[in-house]
Structures are given as C-alpha cells and as structure tokens.
C-alpha cells in the first residue's frame, strides 16, 4: 500500500528541524528553572552543557525534541558565547541514543 503524504516537504522540514529563533527567544536558553541549573552543574563537558541547554530551550519554545545533529550553529554559538564556553571544546553533537533519551527524561 502506498504511503500517504500528510505533510509537504516544507512542512516536514519545519517539523523535523529546530526553528530559526529571534534574539529575544534565545534568552529562553538561559532562563533555567532550579532543577535545570542543578543538573547543568553535574554535566562535565562543554559539549554536554551546551547540548542540554539547546534541548531544554528548544523544548520550552516548541514543546519538541530534536536530533542533536540538527542543532542550528547560530544557537550553538550564542550559548557558547553567553555561558563563556570555549567553542573549540564543544565537539560535534553525536550523542548515542541512550544519552539523548536520558536527557529527554530529565527535561
């Protein structure tokens, strides 16, 4: 049986990739509830810290998680600049499935 296409390619893209954020919206990446601040302190690498902030921020904005290889570079740059993390220490976001799932449970 043929697969029914419910979304246009453009709609599918908007669903599968994080949104382009306005500067005001990027502030949500850093407005952390107490539980998230406490959890962020336990993360040992800059990559994990930036990745957690991105997942939490995207979830708060669009109530959805995204694959880490689809994070927007401008958002990664914004977070590394604001939280004063060396961008050279943020290595590719290639989480294993289990690690991504664990972060979703925490959020």
The tens digit of pLDDT for each residue in 26-48 reads 887 888 889 998 998 898 888 88
Note the pTM of the prediction, 2 decimals.
0.76
Q: Please report whether residue 3 resides in a domain.
A: no
| Pair 54, 29: CB distance under 8 Å | yes
Structural domain including 68 reads: 26-106
DSSP-H helix ranges across 30-85: 34-42, 46-62, 73-82
pLDDT in tens, 45-93: 888 899 999 999 999 888 988 888 889 989 998 988 888 888 788 877 6
What is the rounded distance in angstroms from the CA atom of residue 50 to the CA atom of residue 29?
A: 10
Q: Please report whether residue 12 resides in a domain.
A: no
pLDDT value of position 103: 62
- CA-nearest of 70, 65, 59 to 29 is 59
Q: Please report whether residue 19 resides in a domain.
A: no
Structural domains of the chain, count: 1
Distances (CA, A) of 97 to 23, 68, 84: 30, 10, 28
């Amino acid at each position: 049986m043929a697969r029914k296409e419910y979304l246009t390619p453009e709609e599918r893209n908007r669903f599968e990739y994080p949104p382009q954020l306005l500067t005001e919206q990027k502030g949500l990446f850093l407005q952390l509830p107490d539980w998230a601040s406490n959890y962020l302190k336990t993360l040992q690498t800059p990559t994990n810290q930036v990745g957690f902030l991105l997942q939490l921020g995207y979830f708060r904005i669009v109530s959805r998680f995204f694959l880490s290889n689809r994070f927007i570079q401008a958002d990664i740059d914004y977070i590394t600049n604001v939280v004063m993390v060396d961008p050279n220490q943020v290595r590719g976001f290639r989480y294993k499935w289990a690690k991504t799932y664990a972060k979703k449970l925490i959020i």
